[in-house]
Chains A and B, each alone.
Chain A
Amino acid sequence: AQSVTQLGSHVSVSEGALVLLRCNYSSSVPPYLFWYVQYPNQGLQLLLKYTTGATLVKGINGFEAEFKKSETSFHLTKPSAHMSDAAEYFCAVIPNTGGFKTIFGAGTRLFVKA
């Protein structure tokens, strides 16, 4: 069965430092890949997604992610963290089999220190 692994349930960075949130998926066929962000007591918001084409995907708020098929990874990065980036981040996949079921990773809570 398809699964999504986010390494690190909590990540803490200083303001201005690089943000790196890790995501690996298990699938022999590359799925649709997503990163969502969730602020407290709110729904999820799409940061970026990969379907086909260019493997480096740029999203909102300065985030980007690179699809690496050989590593089955889709890590999320941001060059310089801002206090407002503190939130929960979910990596998610939809298997490329024509369905709509989304499989979420367990989430990574990002803390940003002043």
Chain B
Amino acid sequence: DAMVIQNPRYQVTQFGKPVTLSCSQTLNHNVMYWYQQKSSQAPKLLFHYYDKDFNNEADTPDNFQSRRPNTSFCFLDIRSPGLGDAAMYLCATSTDSKTQYFGPGTRLLVL
């Protein structure tokens, strides 16, 4: 089945130690998103790509970076994780239809 895959599902890192979360898709969608979701809150958009065109949200901290080397893959890099970055990170894809297809998420724990 075509889908959005996120690895790992759970990630533990140390305070200040860089971490990378990955997302891959078999849907061949041109738009990919990264969201941060904290407990009992709505997903917060960090950035999105339209093809290779990167769109950063104004309030996304510089600590968060992203790479999209090709259509299928997208990475979220957290350069120096703080305790406040512990959250669920959701990847999603879409096309011009605007409907988003979400991966299962990666839960990040910062020790």
Residue on A nearest B4 in the bound complex, by CB = A43
Q: Check A102/B105 contact, CB under 8 A, given A43-B90, A44-B43, A44-B90.
A: no
Which residues in B have their C-beta under 8 angstroms from that of A13?
none
Q: How far is the CB of B33 from chain A (nearest CB, A)?
A: 8
Interface readout for B67-80 with A: 1 if CB under 8 Å, 0 if not?
00000000000000
* A49–B98 touching, CB < 8 Å: yes
Whether a CB of chain B sits under 8 angstroms from the CB of A55 is no
Interface residues in B, total, Cβ within 8 A: 26
Smallest Cβ distance from B93 to chain A, in angstroms?
Answer: 11
Tell me whether A43 and B103 are in contact (CB under 8 A). Answer: yes
**Once A and B bind, how many residue pairs between them come within 8 Å at the CB atom?**
58
Q: Binding site of B, secondary structure by majority: helix, strand, loop or mixed?
A: strand
Say yes or no for B104: interface residue by CB 8 A criterion. yes
CB distance from B28 to the nearest CB of A (A): 16
Q: Contact between B102 and A44 (Cβ–Cβ < 8 Å)?
A: yes
Whether B11 is near chain A, meaning CB under 8 Å from some CB there, is no
Count of interface residues, chain A, beta-carbon cutoff 8 Å? 21
Q: A43-B90, A100-B94 are in contact. Are A107 and B42 (CB under 8 A)?
A: yes
B contact residues vs A (CB 8 Å cutoff): 4, 6, 31, 33, 40-43, 45, 48, 50, 55, 57, 88, 90, 92, 94, 98-105, 107
- Listed A/B pairs (10) with beta-carbon separation below 8 Å: A41-B88, A41-B107, A43-B4, A43-B104, A45-B102, A51-B98, A90-B42, A102-B100, A106-B41, A109-B40
